[in-house]
Each structure stands twice: as structure tokens, then as C-alpha cells.
Amino acid sequence: MAGFFSRLFGADLGEPLVVVSGLPRSGTSMMMKMLEAGGVPIMTDSIRTADVDNPKGYYEYERVKDLEKETDKSYVREGRGKALKVISWLLKDLPDDNRYRIVFMRRDLGEVIASQNKMLQHRGEVDNSDDRMMVDAYMNHLASVRILSRKRSNFEMLEVRYDTAVKDPAAAARLVNGFLGGKLDETKMREVVDAELYRNRKG
């Protein structure tokens, strides 16, 4: 895998980072697992461990959560040629001195909110936010992400539907592999998708 991204996209900014992004509870951890299985090195510190909400693990890198506040973001370069999970609100804070190939997970917003509420229940927390207002806020945010991806010349974004990926992991693996250059192991990617973990689904 090393070096193959640079051959595809040029070496002026080095190999691109593969950024997996989306709203919380939209399938980002599953996509990270698919990329890992397919042969993409993962940038994670394993501080946040697997639990009842994500039995397969979170694949997070804690320092990324401070992207908006940090002035020294040079550590992000360590992710060149690797996959890094970045929540959608922090995409705007990624430094300009890298290329990014963003795999953006989309999920029915009702399912996202239901899954978020379930996670809060497991933690003994309560969210009194109005679900309808949350849907509207998320829709506006997702629109802003699309605009951002078009404005940033070092961004290239592929949207992947979570429900489609679970129902047809072979098609999802093929789509993502094509976006990233066609060198990943699609068989291993689809084998790690666990449809039983698709909970809080609509209907």
C-alpha cells in the first residue's frame, strides 16, 4: 500500500489521507474496519475501546477531537497514506498542507438520532433536544459539508450510504476501492461487514 497513493495522485503534498467522516452513529467505524481489512493502514491510538454501542471498536484518534482549537496540526501528516476518522464538524479544520480522499458516510437521520439516543441511554445520560429540530440542523450541516468539499481544492469526497453498504457490502467495497485507486482487497472488505450490528434501523 505504501507509495501507491502518491503514484496515483502525485507527490506535491505527499500521499493523501483517507478520511472517514460523517455524523456520529452513521457507520464511520464500520467503514474504518472495511478499509483496514482492505489493506489501508489505520491511524488510531485505540484509547476508546469497543463497547455495547460499537462492539467492533471505534477506530478513533483522540487528538483529532481538538482540531478546531489546536494551532499545531502537523501531526495530521502522519496520516498520509493511512485512514483517519474525523467527525464531520471538524472537516473544515483539517490543515491545508495535505490531500484528503474523504469517504463520507450517510445514514437516515431518524436512524442517526435513534442510535445517538440509545448510546446516551447506555451512558445514563438524557438528551432533551427536539428530534425534528435536530433533523433540520443535521440537514443544514450536511449541505455545508458538500459545499466545503467543493471549495477545498485538496478535498475529494465520496458519499456512501450506510444502509446500502450493510445490505450490499460487495457493492460498497467496489465503490470505495474504485475511489481510492482500485488496489484494495474487496473480498476482505465485504467480509467484515456485520449486518447484525445494523440496529435502530428505520421501519
The closest alpha carbon to 40, from 19, 26, 25, 61, belongs to 19
Residue 196 lies in a domain: no
Mean pLDDT of the chain: 86
Residue 203 lies in a domain: no
Could you report how far apart the first and last alpha carbons of the chain are, in Å? 40
Residue 195 lies in a domain: no
Residue 193 lies in a domain: no
Question: Which residue stretches of 57-168 are H helix?
Answer: 109-122, 131-151, 162-167
- 7, pLDDT greater than 50: no
- As for how many domains the chain has, the answer is 1
Residue 95 lies in a domain: yes
- Tens-digit pLDDT profile for residues 97-130: 999 999 999 999 989 988 877 776 656 666 667 7
122 φ/ψ angles, rounded to the nearest 5 degrees: -65, -25
- 53, pLDDT greater than 70: no
CATH of the domain at 55: 3.40.50.300
- Confidence (pTM): 0.84
142: domain range? Answer: 4-188
- Tens-digit pLDDT profile for residues 67-87: 999 999 999 999 999 999 999
